[in-house]
Amino acid sequence: MKTLLTFYSRSGTTKRVAEEVAKALDADIDEVIDKKSRKGILGFFIAGYDATRGKTTEIEFEKDPSRYDLVIIGTPVWNGRVTPAIRTYLLRNRERIKNAAFFCTCAGRPGKCLEQMEELWGKKPLLKKILVRKSLDEGIKDIVEELKALC
Ligand SMILES: Cc1cc2nc3c(=O)[nH]c(=O)nc-3n(C[C@H](O)[C@H](O)[C@H](O)COP(=O)(O)O)c2cc1C
């Protein structure tokens, strides 16, 4: 099964998960870049506001998801919601994604992030997984096992 792992990460946690999972599954990897600056304290507050308001944003990514059998998509949780970058990615690629698995990383309060991802894509993903920052290694081990069973 040809697999792509697409992710957005503001501060590196989701990126670490994405890199480890992609390596374990021998999947291609693609980072979604949010063109809006999310840096610093102001960036933090605007990030939360934009996620809460369900805003989209200007993004860049490289790989065409329609060329893959499975697209694994990872996002941080912002105010219990999906990030604007992954919201935009899902809306833009709705028709190009055949099968999906979703994961989010958070500090322990995932809110409705994964449900939003499902709604935005409009189909049921093969897997939805929450990874909590303080038990990241365990979370990575679990998601790799669950994804290997799918691939
Ligand atoms: C604007 C903002 C809002 C956040 N809101 C939540 C939240 O609602 N629940 C939670 O558990 N963590 C929340 N977090 C923490 C992040 O989800 C968590 O640290 C995540 O792993 C960061 O991923 P990254 O390093 O890939 O950006 C928030 C972080 C930011 C920057």
Where does the chain show beta strands of DSSP type E?
3-7, 28-31, 33-34, 59-60, 70-76, 100-106, 127-132
- Per-residue pLDDT reduced to its tens digit, 33-42: 999 999 999 9
**Average pLDDT for 63-67:** 98
pTM of the model as a whole: 0.98
The predicted pLDDT at position 151 comes to 79
- Per-residue pLDDT reduced to its tens digit, 89-111: 999 999 999 999 999 999 999 99
The two structure tokens encoding residue 103:
């994961």
- Per-residue pLDDT reduced to its tens digit, 129-141: 999 999 999 999 9
The Cα 55–Cα 92 span in angstroms is: 14
The two structure tokens encoding residue 51:
């996620």
Query: Rounded to the nearest whole angstrom, what is the distance from the C-alpha of residue 76 to the centroid of ligand 1?
Result: 5
Percent of the chain with pLDDT over 70: 100
Atom of ligand 1 nearest to the CA of 17: 26
Atom of ligand 1 nearest to the CA of 79: 8
Q: Is the CB of 107 under 6 A from ligand 1?
A: yes
Q: Is the CB of 9 under 6 A from ligand 1?
A: yes
CB atoms within 10 A of CB 90: 25
